[in-house]
Structure 1
Amino acid sequence: MIMKRTALTNKVLVLGIDGMDPRISRKYLAEGKMPNLQKFIERGSSREDLRLLGAIPTITPPCWTTLATGAYPGTHGITCYWRQSPESLDAVVYNMDSRNCTAEQMWNITAEAGLKTLVWHWPGSSWPPTTQSKNLSVVDGTQPGSVNMGVAQLDWEKVIIASPEFEEVRYAPRVEQQAGVGCIISDLEATIGATDEDDELMELWWGDTARQGGEIRTYVMDDEDTEVVIGSKVAYDIVNSPLKDASGWANAPEGAKEFTIITSSGVMRRPALILKNEAGEYDRVAIYKNKKAEKPIVTLEVGKMVTGIIDDVTKKEVTKPGCRSMKILELDPAGNKVRVWISNALDIANDQLWHQKSLYQDIVKNVGEVPPVSLIGGENDELVREVFAPSWDIYCKWQADSMNYLIKEKGYEVVFSHLHNIDCAGHQLWHLAKTLPNWEHTDEVVYQGFIEKFYTQTDEYFGEFIHLLDEGWTVLLVSDHGLIVGENVPPIIGEYGGLNTKVMEDLGYTVMKKDENGNSIREVDWEKTRAVQIRSNYIYINLKGRDKYGIVDPKDKYDLEEQIISDLYNYRDERTGKRVIGICLRNKDAVLIGANGPECGDIFFSVEEGYNRLHGDSISTSEGYFDTSVSPVFVAAGAGIKSGFTTDRTIRQVDVTPSIAMLLGLRFPAQCEGAPIYQIFSEEV
């Protein structure tokens, strides 16, 4: 190993928690609800407020790439979930690909220096691996959710409702349920109509489809198009089945009642029984491959989620074994009703996103199959409480066990890891923690309780790694950004998934084509459009000579930018009368915040504090309702770090990588723009 300076440690673990906010963390610390985080703080170093000054935009891939490279987004080139399409101003292309990163990652340096390095699900710039070093192992990183969720999905989530009132088995795919609406739907005919496209819906949030490289064209024209609305909707397959006395079974226990489960987009059936206990009450569900099977695939008990359930799943006429989780939602002790949740299914043979391939089978053999996490909950608080949160409990433990196994048994010395539980919950639930006009049917106190749940869940995850502090490790707790509970419903600008039309239409810069009634349709009138707002934080001038349908003369570009910036600052939300735009800078001026360069549009802007666009809306110092903020978190403890130390230094995300390099005695990445947090080191530098 080529050492550049004396190392302060030879083992580093980065525990990255997507969406973790230091402001609300301190609230729970003060209430004694995060004891493991408290131990890391007491044994290590941080600021009093635990804050890290985040990179801009405050979006998962750019910020994690900044944490990995020590470079700002304008330098490393990962500036959103998506890149601007080189062909079209109204389209984007997939961006979570390490080959788009123009800065060197720290893990390549540790691997090439001889340290056995693991990158565990780090979204934005880790996959595919960018060094040939045999010392580097990489698991996923193509999406922020959880391991393998983007490539291994075979079937969507479903709720089975069995009751004597149903006369026949009915199946309806992807039924949207509003909060407070019961799960029994007596007439499913109106909801049936799934096509092959339904298989793509299960990959909506972090799927494999977008990675094919084609343009993605999404117009965000009203609230219904926004991520906050789409993500909080509860959509799952529904099966209605008769519940009746068991008949025709090889081994049905006395008093058992049968119902039918349908999976695999409606093509596969599984018989199931509800079973009595010694007291004569129904308290279990047994699911079988067929009525002749001697043993069930799984037996479920009330109140317990079971994972690692392997069963065949058919997708597009191909049958594969898939891993599921299941849970009884409701079981009448008298046997008159049962509801069962069944998770999405993950292809257990899919090792596509594991490098080296042997790592996957090693984990499956010694830790267990990758447990699927639920993607439903949103405005249905029962599903959040009974399904969404418990599925993340299981996943967090599996991930901690996997990482600890690899550290202990496989000798990894440097680990960069990412967990998505808080962020995934945040995008579904946080906006419901304040009663806003669009969600008056939900209880903000209930959803504030869910926020606490995911923070205490994360604290339990931290507890799985405290032992490493006694084994010579240096542990860094970091996040990419926090998540605010918005004070207001924002107007249509700054939505990360596509072209935002409403505000730019109101200001006269974007012109949409009209139908016969004069209403805007989802097509830009390029002959009249001078500028568009696309992706999270970017505005592009429709420039002659550069853009396909350009109409703005390059000599007029500067004056037009000035006019747009002025108009955006003057724009007021029609619902509140408040200013919507936080900061607004020309590309050349955005170098001040590291948001400049060819991937950052002609104008960079942020949404003002108090609004919440979910992704990239605010600068990282913004704060929100219920003690939330957009700031990331930073705590360091272990070898080479002062114990029980508080620093006044402003710690920036770009400082994390050079600090790791300094701790390990290695060189900084080539494009690193940060500086070591030397004030927290146990030895003077």
Structure 2
Amino acid sequence: MERKLVIIGIDSLIPTIIEKLVEMNRLPTFKKLMEEGSYSRALPYWPTETGCNWATIATGTPPSKHGCKYVIHIPGTSLDKTVFGFSSEYCRAEQIWQVVDKLGKLSIIIDYPQSYPINIKNVIHIGEDGYPGPNSRFCIANAHAYTNVKKVEELPEYLKKYLTIIEIRNAINWRNLPERRDLLEIEIPLKTREETIIFYGLIEKEDGKYSKVLLFSEKNYMKKLGEAKRGEWSNWIKYCFKLHGKKTYAYFRYKVIELSPDGRKIHIYFSEIYPEEGWAYPSELARELIDIFGPYLHRPTEQAIVVSGASDTETFIEEQEYQANWYTRVAKYLLKKYDWRLFIMKWHGPDFFEHFTLHLIDPTHPLFDSNRKDEGWRLYARFYGICDRMIAEILETVDDGNTIISVVGDHGHVANIVYHVGNEILEKEGYLYRNPDGSINWSKTKAIFVAEGVWINLRGRDPNGIVKLGEEYEKMRDEIINILLNLKNPITGEPVFSLVCRKEDAKILGMGGDRDPDIIFCYNVPMYSKINKATISRHPIWGLVTGTHGAFLPSVRTRIGTIETVFIVKGPKVKKGYKRPISISLSSVAPTLCYLSNIPIPKDAEGPILYDIIEK
């Protein structure tokens, strides 16, 4: 019997958090799925991150076969050259929607990694290729804040780009201005990827206090674009920008996060600027969806925007909730409108959230405050509640008794008490050399850190290779492995790495392919930290980003956090109320779901079907 398949992908679902919140009766839909279906923790592949493991979920293959990671190096290019591994062209294994397409059936895809550029005929596609970083394909400008309150110079360099210091002054040289002398103005240099546009803000009083900001593209009171009161969002603003050299209409809004009653302090936050079309297939679907559900933002916010001070936690949650609700309503609309066989999506919200909040609930982190533990769990219940409601509404549309429904994550998070190292180690040991201008001297360099591993500058493979394959190559790998294994955290004295090995010795972690580094490593994550609060606060990357994942063993955990994630499935032939005692591999997701849905298993899949969750 033909069955439809629904895969609701949610980035960084942490099983320990879900299990606790279900126990607290805060996640009714997750609880319902567990009672009416089968539940398991799931082990990701290395590196434990987005680009790698969503590809595994869609193909049933390890990264050594599908070739995707967040950042990948393509052999044959310069060793310091990398690309983001989210484009469909980088996936070398058959994806589940390609199987469905061969059946002549329709797939509905929402922003799933490696799904764009579109590589099938029968598809409704919303979003991009699942890349969650800044400056995605169609992004015109990332979220940004303008303020006279924050001290930008105190921020780490990578965070300064999210804030611009502005001045408040008396309003002058305006046309059609009301007869008032107490108006203040700000000038906002809005920088997109291709241009800088000057906007102007007027700060107005209500009841004798400054409380509202009006936005203009020129100093003409009759040409207002938007307005917002303190603590509120403006209307959506449609404006013409440049994207890829062409004029493009796009949407944005702003929020007045802070405005002092005397008009001396201001903090105004601008959302991502994202076009009205180009992100949907068929193309005419974009405007149709905007007309019904409002503007689409692909990446409204992320952890760096919060830890920089450009946004606050409340604004972050409001933006993530807007996107989650938009995805949910669009999914329901498309699922009702079209005759489909596969629905698959990925929402990234929890990953962003956990990166800057895990210390609120995980005692491993030095910034954990036991007096605020309940507050932290309430915040997590609120955010995971967004996931719960998303799933509930999609279930209402598809739960017809003949559909296989799955909720799955790609990795988890652990407390960020990890001591990271890089090329400074190889320079110190004489494996990497630089020219006077700081560039790499390839004629002398034998090895280099690239993304989450070490590559040997190999003759015949790399453009400037100097190390011979064979004895020299193996000896060099042994030397570097020993150096890394003996590295100690200078603060705690603990080993920096829990595992360092050749890529072919890490096949169980999914390694061994030509896009994998010659040496892979897994950072050591202690469950009980020896780092105190004062020490961690002096290191900006630690004090601000409190949850992490990546180059870790898939089994790593801290006292609440874990790198494991979640797999839940319900539908015909699926055991009810079954909790699997042993974690699955994410490579089992596609084979199992296809088997249950009577869809052919992707041809490259290696993961086993989970027969123990299936009724006999």
**TM-score, normalised on structure 2?**
0.84
Alignment map for 1:227-306 (pairs within 5 Å): 230=158, 235-243=162-170, 248-249=175-176, 252=178, 257-265=183-191, 267-276=197-206, 283-288=211-216, 296-306=224-234
Alignment map for 1:401-412 (pairs within 5 Å): 401-412=329-340
Paired with 1:428 and 1:512, the residues of 2 have a C-alpha distance of 36
Paired with 1:177 and 1:323, the residues of 2 have a C-alpha distance of 30
- 2:542 pairs with 1:632: no
Segments of structure 2 that go 5 or more residues without pairing to the other structure are: 528-545
Residue in structure 2 matched with residue 3 of structure 1 by the alignment = none
CA offset at residue 332 of structure 1? 3.9
Conservation of the 8 A alpha-carbon contact between 1:581 and 1:608: yes
The farther-off stretch of 291-300 and 95-104 is: 291-300
Paired with 1:358 and 1:156, the residues of 2 have a C-alpha distance of 25
Paired with 1:57 and 1:336, the residues of 2 have a C-alpha distance of 47
Conservation of the 8 A alpha-carbon contact between 1:367 and 1:398: yes
What amino acid maps onto 1:127 in structure 2?
Answer: Y
Alignment map for 1:257-656 (pairs within 5 Å): 257-265=183-191, 267-276=197-206, 283-288=211-216, 296-306=224-234, 308-313=236-241, 320-333=248-261, 338-348=266-276, 350-351=277-278, 353-371=279-297, 373-375=300-302, 377-379=305-307, 383-427=311-355, 430=358, 453-468=382-397, 470-472=399-401, 473-486=403-416, 488-492=417-421, 500-506=422-428, 508=429, 510-513=431-434, 522-536=438-452, 538-554=453-469, 555-610=471-526, 614-625=548-559, 627-656=560-589
Q: What's the secondary structure of 2:167's corresponding residue?
A: strand
Paired with 2:236 and 2:199, the residues of 1 have a C-alpha distance of 19
Conservation of the 8 A alpha-carbon contact between 1:377 and 1:387: no
Paired with 2:326 and 2:319, the residues of 1 have a C-alpha distance of 11
What amino acid maps onto 2:136 in structure 1?
Answer: G
CA offset at residue 581 of structure 1? 1.9
Conservation of the 8 A alpha-carbon contact between 1:469 and 1:639: no
Residue in structure 2 matched with residue 68 of structure 1 by the alignment = 58
What amino acid maps onto 1:136 in structure 2?
Answer: V
CA offset at residue 289 of structure 1? 5.1
Aligned partner of 1:33 among 6, 14, 26:
26
CA offset at residue 254 of structure 1? 7.5
Paired with 1:387 and 1:12, the residues of 2 have a C-alpha distance of 34
Q: 1:509 to 1:406 in 2, by over 3 A?
A: farther
Aligned partner of 1:671 among 582, 595, 604:
604
Q: 1:382 to 1:418 in 2, by over 3 A?
A: same
Conservation of the 8 A alpha-carbon contact between 2:29 and 2:388: yes
What amino acid maps onto 1:297 in structure 2?
Answer: L
What amino acid maps onto 1:423 in structure 2?
Answer: D
Q: What's the secondary structure of 1:297's corresponding residue?
A: strand
What amino acid maps onto 2:389 in structure 1?
Answer: E
Q: What's the secondary structure of 1:16's corresponding residue?
A: strand
Aligned partner of 2:126 among 116, 139, 156:
139
Residue in structure 2 matched with residue 210 of structure 1 by the alignment = none
Conservation of the 8 A alpha-carbon contact between 1:655 and 1:676: yes
Q: 1:275 to 1:636 in 2, by over 3 A?
A: farther
Conservation of the 8 A alpha-carbon contact between 1:540 and 1:603: yes
Paired with 2:364 and 2:547, the residues of 1 have a C-alpha distance of 14
Paired with 1:614 and 1:522, the residues of 2 have a C-alpha distance of 30
Q: What's the secondary structure of 1:126's corresponding residue?
A: coil
What amino acid maps onto 1:539 in structure 2?
Answer: V
**TM-score, normalised on structure 1?**
0.76
Q: 1:502 to 1:236 in 2, by over 3 A?
A: same
- 2:36 pairs with 1:120: no
Paired with 2:365 and 2:597, the residues of 1 have a C-alpha distance of 52
Q: What's the secondary structure of 2:475's corresponding residue?
A: helix
CA offset at residue 653 of structure 1? 0.6
What amino acid maps onto 2:107 in structure 1?
Answer: T
CA offset at residue 448 of structure 1? 7.6
Paired with 2:4 and 2:234, the residues of 1 have a C-alpha distance of 35
Q: 1:437 to 1:313 in 2, by over 3 A?
A: same
- 2:36 pairs with 1:43: yes
Paired with 1:176 and 1:437, the residues of 2 have a C-alpha distance of 26
Aligned partner of 2:595 among 651, 662, 672:
662
Q: 1:111 to 1:234 in 2, by over 3 A?
A: same
Conservation of the 8 A alpha-carbon contact between 2:86 and 2:131: no
Q: 1:263 to 1:403 in 2, by over 3 A?
A: farther
Conservation of the 8 A alpha-carbon contact between 1:158 and 1:238: no
Residue in structure 1 matched with residue 534 of structure 2 by the alignment = none
Residue in structure 1 matched with residue 68 of structure 2 by the alignment = 78
Segments of structure 1 that go 5 or more residues without pairing to the other structure are: 1-5, 164-173, 180-223, 493-499, 516-520
Aligned sequence identity (%)? 22
CA offset at residue 450 of structure 1? 5.8
- 2:1 pairs with 1:12: no
CA RMSD for the aligned pairs? 3.7
Q: 1:477 to 1:434 in 2, by over 3 A?
A: closer
Deviations 1:289-344 (A, max 9, x none): 55656574333244333463223446799764321121121234566655432223
Paired with 1:176 and 1:558, the residues of 2 have a C-alpha distance of 47
What amino acid maps onto 2:292 in structure 1?
Answer: N
Conservation of the 8 A alpha-carbon contact between 2:42 and 2:585: yes
What amino acid maps onto 2:283 in structure 1?
Answer: K
Paired with 2:247 and 2:105, the residues of 1 have a C-alpha distance of 41
CA offset at residue 467 of structure 1? 1.4
Alignment map for 1:152-191 (pairs within 5 Å): 152-161=138-147, 176=152, 178=154
